[in-house]
Amino acid sequence: MLFSSTEFLLMFLPTTIAGFALAVQLISMRAGTAWLLACSLFFYAYWSPPLLPLLLASIVVNFACGRALFRNRSRSFLVAGLIFNLGLLAYFKYAGFLVENIEQIIGSEIVNLKIVLPLAISFFTFQQVAYLVDVYQGKADEPDFLNYCLFVSFFPQLISGPIVHHGEMMPQFRENARKWLSRSLVPVAFGFIAIGLYKKVVLADGLAPIVDQVFDHAANGGIPTTGDAWIGAIAYSFQIYFDFSGYSDMAVGVALFFGIRLPLNFNSPYKATSIIDFWRRWHITLSRFIRDYIYIPLGGNRKGKQRRYVNLVLAMLIGGLWHGAGWTFVVWGGCHGLFLIFNHGWRRFCPRLAITGILSLGAARAVTFFFVVVAWVFFRAADIDDAGKMLQGMFGLVSGTSVLEGGRPILWLTLVSLIVWFTPNTWQLFRDADPVVVPAAAGKAAEGGCFSGVLMRFRRSIIVPLIVMTGIVGLFVVVNRGNEAQRFIYMIF
């Protein structure tokens, strides 16, 4: 059941809201929590009922490990919990990848593994790993079982994040007087959902045919021309931008109906002026996890400059592998690790070259975007060979063949470029309503006013028409499209 489907928008969500309202009004907020939990489990089981027991088993085992850690902060309990979580992830997500690579090395088949990847296993596994580590370090309060179950399975963020932190969510689930369906939050919730829906079904899905045409050409053995290759790579960069941004917006909006504020997970990453800044804006909660539970435990920057750079690369390699069991994701993570090393080195040896003024700001954004686009090629390509064909075309190393016709791709890229770089994001539009929790990982990217530029003076006058327009267009596309809905890209992780 996709957020961008008629089943979700016209049936599941209204039913869930109505049931929650009745439970809270007629019984108690705890009854509403139980209803939300039941709906969240149904939402997960809707994809594949046989996989629901795996989610439930993960919740029960981690809750039990957490309780054991509260009573006795023994390292053995933490290790047991980590082995369970990482073991599940290793088997379901990486066993096939490992066997496949061993088979290629030895030149014969070992075993034919037919493992179905459970939906959202990367998200709920990392979420519970963080919880156990924080319990062991004395940073968490002991929850009751009902609230813990909802903490893990809350349907707005279960499938594609954000990777929520217990310190952000548990107090909200315990709060019996939270502002569900309040007059101040309902318009904001509708705004996030409408804009997120538009980003997904109009912008992201509209770019998909351009992307598929170019990358499919490479997958079929061809090499696109330099122009087509760059159009395809940039189009994918915008497709994944609007796809993930759209999901993040809709998740925030849906959660607000129940008085829950999710963490900010997406903050105009293509406005970043460096790769460091990019990771403060893109998938902010994953950046936080990588920093707090991988980079810092590896030693962070406490063991000298050289070790710091090694830790950066290792952390980003793990972050890349988290996205998928494939060498393309490993290379993507490694690229960003190297970019971060270069970024830190630049700050160290060229501290006086500060970014000031419109020209230097634009140049910094352009350079950052260039490296991000190049890395996205590995993220999108089916394998390293396909990525190599795309890069050969992009940098004119081999004469390619044209696959794109007409001016439609250029028109699309021009339109989305204007939206990305010259309009405020959804959080900035509704920032006064305090719709999200802003993680510390967002850093300076979350500071400053609501948004800059000429739109500031027109903010209030454009919000309502914008919501109405995007909502109507998005819903029209959803209804007209029928059963041809495209999954959100991050749902495969």
Catalytic residue numbers, as ranges: 323
CB 157 within 8 A of CB 258: no
Tokens encoding 416 = 């989305």
Q: Give the CA dihedral 341, 245, 325, 393, nearest 10 degrees.
A: -70
CA distance to 15, 154, 245, per residue, from 419 (Å): 34, 31, 13
Q: How far apart are CA 189 and CA 442, in angstroms?
A: 22
Q: Residue 162 — φ and ψ, nearest 5°?
A: -70, 160
**Separation of CA 239 from chain center:** 13
Q: How far apart are CA 298 and CA 292, in angstroms?
A: 10
CA-CA-CA-CA torsion sign (485, 486, 492, 493): negative
Q: How far apart are CA 157 and CA 263, in angstroms?
A: 10
CB under 8 Å to 86, separation ≥6 — which residues? 125, 129
Q: How far apart are CA 127 and CA 263, in angstroms?
A: 13
CB under 8 Å to 391, separation ≥6 — which residues? 229, 374, 377, 397
**Separation of CA 340 from chain center:** 20
Helix extents (H) in 175-258: 186-198, 205-219, 226-256
CA distance to 163, 272, 339, per residue, from 370 (Å): 27, 12, 11
CA-CA-CA-CA torsion sign (289, 292, 293, 296): positive
Of the candidates 320, 363, 362, the residue with the CA atom closest to the CA atom of residue 340: 320
Tokens encoding 113 = 């593994």
